[in-house]
Amino acid sequence: MVKTVHPEAEYAAYLAEGRFMVQRSASTGAYVFFPRIAQPGTGLADLEWVEASGEGTVYSFTVIRNKPPTPDYVIALIDLAEGVRMMSRLVDCDPATIAIGMAVKARVGEVDGAPAVLFAPVEGGAA
């Protein structure tokens, strides 16, 4: 019996190593995120893992307000340089300074004790 690992589990394992990885089709070069077994639209199952650049821009965001003492936090949709969009937390910034199109950079951090991709504004901030 062949043991297969689901793409989400592979992604989580890379994050646990401190690596931000995305998938890319070996034949078309198209990037894919969220992790999948096959490329959407083509069904090609030739996806390989590659290191993400970590560069992106804010597509949209919202501030999640919490009752004290729990701090507020920002959830954002980020357009990666690779051409895919992902949801993540935006950290190390005042929510009042966030703008659509703001340049951001990824790092692997933790959310609720689990490894996660976090984004922070790039100095200068304009895309």
Question: What domains appear along the chain, each with residue ranges and CATH number?
Answer: 7-51 (no CATH), 55-121 (2.40.50)
| Confidence (pTM) | 0.88
C-alpha distance from residue 48 to each of 51, 88, 120 (Å): 10, 22, 27
Rounded CA-CA distance 29/31 in Å is: 6
Tokens of 25: 């089709």
pLDDT in tens, 1-44: 555 679 999 999 999 999 999 999 999 999 999 999 999 999 98
pLDDT in tens, 33-52: 999 999 999 998 999 999 99
